[in-house]
Amino acid sequence: MVLMAFLGINSILKGQTVTDIDGNVYQTVTIGPQVWMKENLRVTRFQNGDFINNITNNTSWSNQTIDARCYYNNDSVQNATIYGALYNWYAMNDNRNLCPIGWHVSDNSDWRILTKHLDNNVDTSALGWLGFDCGGKLKEAGTSHWSNPNTGATNISGFSALPAGGRDSTGLFYQLGTGAAWWAQYQQNLSNARAWNVYYNTQQVGTNNSFKKYGYSVRCVKSNCSTGSLLINDTITHLGMPVLIPILDIGTLAPTCNIISYQFDLTYNPAKIQYINNDISGTIASGGTVTVNSSTSGLLHISFMTTTALSGSGPILNLQFNTLNIGTSPLTITNFLYNTDTITDITNGSITAIGLYGDIDTNGYVQAYDAALALQYSVGLDPLPNSEPIPWENWRMIIANVDGVGSVTAIDASLILQHSAGLITLFPVESVKSSENPVADVAITQDNSELVFTSTGELYGLNIYAINGNQVIMNTPAFLVPNMMSATNINGSTYNIGLCTAYSPNDNTEIMRIPFTCTAPETLTFNMIINKTVVTKTFAVSCTVGINEDHQRSVNIFPNPAKDNIEITGINHGKIQILNTLGQVVYTSEITNTKTVVDISGFLSGIYTISIKTNNDIITKKLFIK
């Protein structure tokens, strides 16, 4: 009774049935303002009768860039009726429409409405696991189909989600009995699109961006032709390439609505893109007449008429643009009329023109400099303060995020560095390898007053985001692997480090040492991105060995500031290192006399750190070179 009151007594109604083009009959359910199929789609043909490609071979599935479907383990006898079919994104997004007439493939807005109805407090614009128990309200209760524990499953919504599993971009099937995922008509970029999912061991609902070649389930939602629902997808393309932009009605227009005209205005940025042409062939408006007035720069006045009522869903018009400059141009529809009815349910989009992946400075080449820019950005530095202060615009983030995962991290810098050296010719975002993640780890140990970071596996990129403690203060790090690029952002309590390399160090290689000062034991937290894997590590720092203050004061550096040579006195043994402001070791030697002379004539002017390590302590001094 409490749950029914929460969802609304009349918000969930047992539905009727709907039949697809193959004759399959589906039960439906009304949830709030929407009518959903309560079964996964299993149709083999598009709405117009064209067959959807049935792909059983793994290699063929991996190479497919047009519509594809399959059944789990390619077993339609066991799985089609219960779990439905699995479709790649290209089939789901096809203008020929998978769903019956009067229905459409559930889009991102449909899922957000559904989730918001189940939990009014959920932030449906976020990614990840959402809400408190939305997933439980969607899942079929019990363990007839779901694996234990099927956490929180009540099916109070009547949605009756079953664990249909999926098929990855290599063709492998996974998670039958433990997970379910459904496509939504939202494209993140050229390679990825939005999906929603539930899982056997959580009662939350999840949403994430997934590779378009994956196979997921599809649910259809009943359309409402009386209002219209217009969509322009965000499109990403390379500079100089023409781009075709469909103006979509993602509802379903019934012939009984007798829609025989539309008109609207569309604005765009003429500095970024140029209008070229229009076309209605192959759209649901095919056979009519369209007129486009483009006399005003950045504005199109569009009118359409026909003698045959528009029917179905899909594009009502295709507009062609050329990209003129790197960047994003919004595409904004205003003043839209179907016949004489004003349509306000409009999702506007954009065209983003990018250069070469990895070419962050857009000079036409992928170079080591681009890798350095990515590494600096990953630690919060501002590598392009004059041309584009942080945060970077979306188009530059797309160019820099060459692994296609998350934000710009050290692994992106590593990949750009590898590309600049000819070690790779394609970035993961450009190939089917975007899900690959070399296995690596980083261990933290303590050696006297230094934290030692040691890598295992194939380490190419490492980001560390830490905060100096109250009792333990980390100083300038020393980077120990030759040819490993580094960036640091150490400012107050902020302690961010980025490392990348084109060649992975050998197993159990010390990659970095961080000297510290300590007044009392304290546990530090290190948030890391190791290649693509996000991990959090803690380390309890001991202060049993620290800096001997008397010894620190007895060591003298003269002259300071200096230009040609310095003399180090007050100590007769130990190992000396001189580090630049990037933490790179630029000089190493052993101290064997009470006076050590160091030639610094070849050093650039600036501030350096002198670190002297003895058997018992570490002494640090600042050196100023003129």
Mean pLDDT, rounded, for 468-486: 90
Edge-to-edge strands of the sheet including 461-467? 485-491, 494-500, 461-467, 522-530, 533-541
Asked whether residue 464 carries a pLDDT value surpassing 80, the answer given is yes
Percent of the chain topping pLDDT 90: 59
Mean pLDDT, rounded, for 278-304: 95
- pLDDT tens profile 215-248: 999 999 987 655 578 999 999 888 878 899 999 9
In this prediction, residue 169 carries a pLDDT of 94
In this prediction, residue 302 carries a pLDDT of 97
DSSP-based three-state secondary structure for 445: strand
User: CB under 8 Å to 575, separation ≥6 — which residues?
Assistant: 588, 589, 590, 591, 612, 613
* Better-scored residue on pLDDT, 435 or 80: 80
DSSP-based three-state secondary structure for 147: coil
In this prediction, residue 4 carries a pLDDT of 33
In this prediction, residue 255 carries a pLDDT of 67
Q: Write down all domains in the chain, each with its CATH number in brackets.
A: 2-222 (no CATH), 230-354 (2.60.40.680), 357-546 (1.10.1330.10), 549-625 (2.60.40.3080)
For residue 432, the one-letter residue type is V
Evaluate whether 166 touches 70 at the Cβ level (below 8 Å).
Answer: no
In this prediction, residue 434 carries a pLDDT of 52
Q: What are the b/e assignments for 501-513, b being 16+ CB within 10 Å? A: bbebbeeeebbbb
Closest by CA position to 247, among listed 318, 298, 184 = 318
* Better-scored residue on pLDDT, 616 or 93: 93
Give the β-pairing of 235-238 and 349-354: parallel
Mean pLDDT, rounded, for 7-34: 76
In this prediction, residue 546 carries a pLDDT of 42
In this prediction, residue 251 carries a pLDDT of 77
Mean pLDDT, rounded, for 122-134: 91
Asked whether residue 512 carries a pLDDT value surpassing 90, the answer given is yes
User: CB under 8 Å to 326, separation ≥6 — which residues?
Assistant: 239, 353, 354, 355, 362, 395
Confidence of residue 190 (pLDDT cuts 50, 70, 90): confident
Closest by CA position to 314, among listed 251, 258, 235 = 251
Average pLDDT, the chain: 88
Mean pLDDT, rounded, for 455-479: 92
Q: 0.85 cut: is pTM over it?
A: no
* Better-scored residue on pLDDT, 152 or 545: 152
DSSP state of 517: E
Asked whether residue 324 carries a pLDDT value surpassing 50, the answer given is yes
* Better-scored residue on pLDDT, 619 or 126: 126
- pLDDT tens profile 97-106: 899 877 889 9
Least-confidence region, from 6-15, 471-480, 572-581? 6-15
Asked whether residue 273 carries a pLDDT value surpassing 90, the answer given is yes
In this prediction, residue 9 carries a pLDDT of 26
In this prediction, residue 167 carries a pLDDT of 97
Mean pLDDT, rounded, for 259-267: 95
Least-confidence region, from 24-28, 169-173, 385-389? 385-389
In this prediction, residue 380 carries a pLDDT of 92
Across the strands, what pairs with 333?
266
